Amino acid sequence: MPMIKTFKTIRLFARIARTWAPQPDLTISQWADQYRVLTPEGSSEPGPWRTDRAPYQREIMDSINDPLIEEVAIMASAQVGKTEFLLNMIGYHIDQDPAPIMYLLPTEDLIKSFSQKRLAPMISASPVLRSKVYEAKGRDAGNTISEKSFPNGYITIVGANSPSGLSSRPIRIVLCDEVDRYPASAGTEGDPITLATERTATFNKRKHVYVSTPVLKETSRINQLYEDSTMEEWNLPCPHCDEYQPMVFGNVKFEKLESESGEITVTRVEYCCSHCGALGSEKEWKNGDGKWVPRKKHSYRRGFHLNQLVSPWVSWNKIVRKFLVAKREGPEKLKVWENTVMGNPWEEKGEQIEEDVLLSRLQGYPAGGVPDGVKVLTAAVDTQDDRFEIEVMGWGTGRESWGIEYHRIYGDLSQPKIWADLDEYLSRTWTNSEGRRFSIRTAFIDSGGHYTTEVYKFTSVRKARGIFAIKGYSGANGENVSLLHTWSVNKKQKAMLITLGVDEGKAKVFSSLQIKEPGPGYCHFPLDKGYNRDYFRGLTAEVLVTKMRAGVKFRQWKQIRKRNEPLDLRVYNLAALEALNPNLEAPLPPMDGAGGPSGLQKRPRRRGAASSV
């Protein structure tokens, strides 16, 4: 027995010695190179971490180790490894410099996915982390979905929309991911970034790290943080004259081919030096020894800007092809390309649209009602107490659109007749000049108002025809909500309910209305079929205004006229198109003998995208 007690005492003191022993003097990048293991769940290149794979990562990570630097802002495109920066910082602090850490995501809904698919696999794959993060053992465990404990510290994962999570305890390290998607206020408590960073006030070695792909320039938090920093850019040397320069898309030179089906092939891509004008290949430029070059001085915040031209995981050929497709498909796709590929905020024109300008677009259509260029029809239905308001729209290459008909059906929505009339209308077909028949492929019906149950009953038995109930959602605090926000099934009527982020939808509609020449994104309107001055007044019944809350700018739609149903229906039609996801670049299939309805195929969705209705 004494020998057993002695052995236990020795083990206890050994554990204490390991806990208090001085740690190796490593930077974050050195720690990652020595201990980090990438997993298949979070990386296309699983195995030991290698900072040299993307050398621009080294100084970003190691800037956190600088005692003079309190804040780091990283404005970056997708696919440059920005979330990996943050994971390496977490791993380093768990192992080398324990502290209370807060990881801040845009919403609470993202906590489970980040914890299980990114953080937990990193901990499990790295022995030095696995041995320190406490295992879950019952209700009071130190390892949960939203919080993981380790000796002398913990990491808590919270949503920027959760005031309770942001103000609960002292924190030394605050890691803010995708800050441009944060709401302007966490509930009624104020700016989520301010709430989080105030938790660090009592710590001398506090660190605040902000990472995001930018969105709109006027309200971009990451752009504001970057512009109030050292504003550093990754520079590469010209393979011919050795002059260092940041990589900008304007200097990319390329050749392309486009097939009749709309498939784009990029045959050559080179980069033109800003100094000597010589052209160099992607391999020649990326093989150069890059360096970070600051544009300003700052006493406590370093700022870094990255785009995909320097990424080892994205080819220039792919970047150019994405640009050409986005340019063809209109300004909304160009905005996404500018944000996610070039890592730049998008600057809106902010031009107000007058109804007289849209009235001047009225044009004659063929007898059957469908102009050449239309490839698919969608419909949207707004429910009022005494009527349905309906718009049928046609869509073509590059999301060029044609209003087909704006129609009203009057009646008592509590009675079956008006619903039978709606069913008959949504079953109609229209024809083009060739005699090709077009049916409505997808119809979205607003379930708000006083007749929600009736909408559910109507749509639940018409799923096969692509008829679905929708509900609009508008964020009060500038939340970034995607147009196709959520799908759910009503339990009683078994109806599919699609929640729409109407703020994004309105922005996309107005962006298209501002296009002045026929082509991608342009909106056409027929001379009759319900498109009159009242329609265009309803279509332009809202304006986008910039508001300020707790010192944070955000944009919100403001209604300036009473009737806005035409604008709502345009948003619903756009959402219906995105849900249907047809390949609008493909030619229409040959007609059958009776001029059968369009059979345009759906475009395949990328892995992980919301499933098409």
Tens of pLDDT, residue by residue over 294-333, are 999 999 999 999 999 999 999 999 999 999 989 888 888 8
Q: From CA 397, how far away is CA 262, in angstroms rounded?
A: 9
pTM for the full predicted model: 0.79
Residue 25 pLDDT class (50, 70, 90 cuts): confident
Task: Compute the distance between CA of residue 212 and CA of residue 303 in angstroms, rounded to an integer.
Answer: 12
Which pLDDT band holds residue 198 (cuts at 50, 70, 90)? very high
Q: Could you give phi then psi for residue 143, rounded to 5 degrees?
A: -130, 100
Q: Is pLDDT above 80 for 601? A: no
Q: What percent of the chain has pLDDT over 70?
A: 90
d(CA 491, CA 469): 14
The one-letter amino acid code at 141 reads A
**Beta-sheet pairing, 401-410 with 387-395:** antiparallel
> What pLDDT is recorded for position 12?
52
Residues 230-254 have a mean pLDDT of 97
> Which region among 8-22, 83-97, 475-489 has the lowest average model confidence (pLDDT)?
8-22
Residue 594 binned pLDDT confidence (cut-offs 50, 70, 90): low
Among 102-111, 352-361, 410-419, 434-443, where is mean pLDDT lowest? 352-361
Q: How confident is the model at residue 599 (pLDDT cuts 50, 70, 90)?
A: low
DSSP-derived secondary structure for 196-209: HHGGGTT-TT-EEE
Count, residues in the chain: 613
Residue 268: pLDDT band (50, 70, 90) is very high
Mean pLDDT score, 140-155 = 86
Q: Sorting pLDDT into bands at 50, 70 and 90, what band is 65?
A: very high
% of residues, the chain, pLDDT over 90: 67
DSSP 43: -
pLDDT for position 609: 36
Kindly state the helix (H) or strand (E) to which residue 510 belongs, with its residue range.
helix 502-513
pLDDT value at position 612? 33
pLDDT at 20: 52
| pLDDT surpassing 50 at residue 72 | yes
- Note the pLDDT of residue 176: 96
User: What does the alpha-carbon distance between residue 20 and residue 535 come to, in Å, rounded to a whole number?
Assistant: 73
Q: 348 exposed, middle or buried (CB, 10 Å; 0-12, 13-18, 19+)? A: middle
Mean pLDDT of 478-503: 86
Closest CA to 56 of 213, 240, 247: 247
The answer, yes or no, to whether residue 103 has pLDDT greater than 50, is yes
Residue 392 pLDDT level (bands cut at 50, 70, 90):
very high
**Helix ranges, 50-144 (H):** 56-62, 82-95, 111-114, 120-125, 127-130
- Enter the DSSP assignment of 181: G
Tell me what pLDDT residue 186 has: 78
How far is residue 475's CA from residue 158's CA, in Å, rounded to a whole number?
19
| Torsion angle of C-alpha atoms 296, 301, 307, 310, degrees rounded to 10 | 80
- pLDDT of amino acid 474: 82
Give the contacts of 184 (CB within 8 A, at least 6 positions apart): 191, 477, 478, 547, 549, 550, 552, 553, 554
Average pLDDT over residues 462-471: 95
pLDDT of residue 607: 36
Query: For residue 385, how far is the Cα from the chain centroid?
Result: 36
CA separation, residue 506 to residues 341, 432, 509, 543 (Å): 24, 29, 5, 9
The pLDDT tens digits of the residues spanning 521-561 come to: 999 999 989 999 999 999 999 988 877 776 777 788 888 88
Residue 428 has pLDDT above 60, yes or no: yes
Strand order in the sheet with 279-280: 252-258, 264-272, 279-280
pLDDT at 131 over 80: yes
Averaged pLDDT for residues 160-180: 88
Chain mean pLDDT for the chain: 88
Query: What is the distance between the alpha carbons of residues 510 and 570, in angstroms, rounded to a whole number?
Result: 10
pLDDT at 7 exceeding the cut of 80: no
Query: Which of 94, 114, 108 lies closest to 42 in space, CA to CA?
Result: 114
What pLDDT sits at residue 481? 78
Selected residue with higher pLDDT from 53 and 552: 53
Give the mean model confidence (pLDDT) for residues 162-188. 86
